[in-house]
């Protein structure tokens, strides 16, 4: 039997916890939803009175937060109190790849999950359903369970607390998080106890049709999340590998994608060749799968999936190398306008963005980069590139210069990136880039000038007719 949930706590107010809980609160007005985080600054941003500085940019999110915040959606740093009140606790903390120790570079670092589980064990009262929302290595539920059942009742408790553990991975993608959460393809709930599964299902049923709510055992659910991300990433590496072949043979990867995508067995989505996949999940989750496969004595399975990440790394370097080649083998003293730094459009997130590796390669060759992105905070770019921006110098003849080779500066306007640039490189598919007036921008570039379109979003004819050299991903047709 499902029980009626009145209070939810979500630990982790990040890219997953924030939007997921906002949508949940919006659809379940009788449930109080408390999103807690140890990061005070992040919580302050979520509580920003005029909603201008929410920590996450997602289309449609501001409106939801505006509707629900202070009514049944609350952001706070009071972790203990909110755990104690909750019928359900979602764990939505980050699980980065381990950087040292056993499994470094591949295994997930579960220290935040463990800390969260320990807090739940200590502060939960009565019966609590604990839900893994973070993507976790298979069998993590076992770890959480062990921590929870070994919790000793504290002095104010007559009875020990009891727990159920469920896996409920999130499949939303950044940039379309609200849309994905509003109309998910499926909701996956893995667990052992049917009452707990039904209790969580009842919440989703407020807005998701019942037939889309899938129940599995807990291990299948954990593995399904890793597998979904691995399959999606594998499709991108597959099409990116074909883009290189198209460029070598005279093919056009867009035509190949269209041709294979109309086979209903293959399907048309996730076949856009680009600068290489980024985001916090794909690489981490595949490396996790690789680690698990090796751990369970399946080296061939590990090698198979590792190939997807290798191809992606190789592909990113391929893009930077061809730019260097087209610009006569040296970038010293050359200005390159970089359009887009986020790992995809409609997000301010730069984690694992292809832009990071590609820009690092270009900087190493001495390029002077002017980086434009409509949403990314320049501080993130500094952290990602490991160097601070250099202030632009406006010379007497009104031209912009940099002090040194291998440096970068923020371009607030697209025209600042194109001014006297030797090349423009599109790395994120922001819609505004597809509308650039090349007739105008080309006039202020330094010739021979190049436009490199790694996202295939520009109007090729318009760029070429403006007198610019043009390269786009996977196009071997010599336009």
The phi, psi pair for 62, rounded to 5°, reads -55, -45
What DSSP string describes 45-92? HHT-TTSTT-SS--TTHHHHHHHHBTTTEEEES-HHHHHHH-SEEEE-
Strand-pair partners of 222: none
What is the spatial distance between Cα 98 and Cα 120, in angstroms, rounded to a whole number? Answer: 23
Name the residue among 14, 56, 64, 55 with its Cα closest to residue 37.
14
Nearest approach in angstroms of CB 406 to ligand UDX is 25
Radius of gyration of the chain (CA): 24
Binding site for ligand UDX (CB under 6 A): 11-17, 37-39, 42, 92-95, 112, 115-116, 134-135, 170-174, 229, 232, 236, 270-272, 274, 277-282, 343-344
Nearest approach in angstroms of CB 26 to ligand UDX is 18
Nearest approach in angstroms of CB 410 to ligand UDX is 21
Nearest approach in angstroms of CB 398 to ligand UDX is 36
Nearest approach in angstroms of CB 93 to ligand UDX is 4
What is the spatial distance between Cα 220 and Cα 203, in angstroms, rounded to a whole number? Answer: 21
Determine which one of 28, 246, 281, 359 is catalytic. Answer: 281
Nearest approach in angstroms of CB 133 to ligand UDX is 6
Are the beta carbons of 407 and 363 closer than 8 angstroms?
A: yes
Strand-pair partners of 377: none
The residue nearest ligand UDX at its CB is 14
Q: Where are the alpha helices (DSSP H) in 172-281?
A: 177-182, 194-204, 218-249, 253-261
Q: Which of 73/449 has CB closer to ligand UDX?
A: 73
Q: Which of 33/271 has CB closer to ligand UDX?
A: 271
Q: Give rounded-to-5 percent helix, strand, coil for the chain.
A: 40, 15, 45
Q: Which of 17/190 has CB closer to ligand UDX?
A: 17
The phi, psi pair for 57, rounded to 5°, reads -100, 120
Dihedral Cα 456, 459, 464, 465, nearest 10 deg: 180
Nearest approach in angstroms of CB 163 to ligand UDX is 18
Q: Annotated catalytic, 281?
A: yes
Q: Which of 134/234 has CB closer to ligand UDX?
A: 134
Nearest approach in angstroms of CB 178 to ligand UDX is 13
Q: Which helix (H) or strand (E) holds 370?
A: strand 368-372
Buried b (16+ CB within 10 A) or exposed e, 407-428: bbbbbeebebbbbebbbbbbbb
Q: Which of 232/322 has CB closer to ligand UDX?
A: 232
Q: Which of 41/398 has CB closer to ligand UDX?
A: 41
Are the beta carbons of 277 and 316 closer than 8 angstroms?
A: no
Name the residue among 209, 146, 140, 206 with its Cα closest to residue 168.
140
Strand-pair partners of 400: 394
| Beta-carbon count within 10 A of 364 CB | 12
Query: How far are the Cα atoms of 40, 41, 47, 85, 228 from residue 77, in angstroms, in the given order?
Result: 6, 10, 11, 14, 33
Q: Which of 137/389 has CB closer to ligand UDX?
A: 137
What is the spatial distance between Cα 120 and Cα 114, in angstroms, rounded to a whole number? Answer: 10
Q: Which of 219/270 has CB closer to ligand UDX?
A: 270
* Residues that are catalytic: 281
């Amino acid at each position: 039997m499902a029980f009626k949930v009145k209070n939810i706590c979500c630990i982790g107010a990040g890219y997953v916890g924030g939007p997921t809980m906002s949508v949940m609160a919006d659809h379940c007005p009788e449930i109080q939803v408390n999103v807690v985080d140890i990061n005070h600054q992040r919580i302050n941003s979520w509580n920003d009175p005029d909603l201008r500085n929410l920590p996450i940019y997602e289309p449609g999110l501001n409106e939801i937060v505006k509707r629900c915040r202070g009514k049944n959606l609350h952001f706070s740093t009071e972790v203990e109190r909110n755990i104690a009140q909750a019928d359900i606790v979602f764990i939505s903390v980050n699980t980065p790849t381990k950087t040292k120790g056993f499994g470094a570079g591949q295994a997930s670092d579960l220290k935040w999950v463990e800390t969260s589980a320990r807090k739940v064990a200590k502060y939960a009262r009565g019966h609590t359903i604990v839900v893994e929302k973070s993507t976790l290595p298979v069998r993590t539920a076992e770890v959480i369970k062990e921590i929870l059942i070994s919790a000793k009742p504290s002095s104010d408790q007559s009875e020990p607390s009891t727990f159920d553990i469920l896996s409920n991975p999130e499949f939303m993608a950044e940039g379309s998080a609200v849309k994905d959460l509003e109309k998910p393809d499926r909701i996956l709930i893995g667990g052992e106890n049917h009452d707990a599964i039904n209790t969580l299902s009842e919440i989703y049923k407020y807005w998701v049709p019942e037939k889309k709510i899938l129940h599995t055992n807990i291990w299948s659910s954990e593995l399904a999340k890793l597998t979904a991300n691995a399959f999606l990433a594998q499709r991108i590496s597959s099409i990116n590998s074909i883009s290189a072949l198209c460029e070598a043979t005279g093919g056009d990867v867009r035509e190949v994608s269209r041709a294979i995508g109309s086979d209903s067995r293959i399907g048309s989505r996730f076949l856009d060749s680009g600068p290489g996949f980024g985001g916090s999940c794909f690489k981490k989750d595949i490396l996790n799968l690789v680690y698990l496969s090796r751990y369970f004595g399946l080296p061939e399975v590990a090698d198979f999936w590792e190939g997807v990440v290798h191809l992606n790394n190789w592909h990113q370097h391929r893009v930077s190398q061809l730019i260097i080649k087209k610009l006569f083998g040296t970038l010293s003293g050359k200005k390159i306008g970089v359009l887009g730094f986020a790992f995809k459009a409609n997000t301010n997130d730069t984690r694992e963005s292809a832009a990071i590796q590609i820009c690092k390669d270009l900087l190493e060759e001495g390029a002077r980069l002017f980086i434009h992105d409509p949403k990314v905070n320049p501080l993130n770019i500094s952290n990602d590139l490991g160097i601070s921006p250099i202030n632009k110098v406006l010379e007497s003849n009104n031209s912009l210069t940099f002090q040194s080779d291998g440096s970068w500066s923020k371009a607030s306007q697209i025209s600042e990136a194109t001014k006297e640039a030797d090349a423009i490189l599109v790395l994120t598919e922001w819609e505004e880039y597809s509308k650039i007036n090349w007739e105008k921008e080309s006039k202020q570039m330094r010739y021979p000038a190049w436009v490199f379109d790694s996202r295939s979003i520009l109007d090729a004819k318009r760029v070429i007719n403006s007198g610019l050299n043009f390269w786009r991903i996977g196009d071997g047709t010599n336009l």
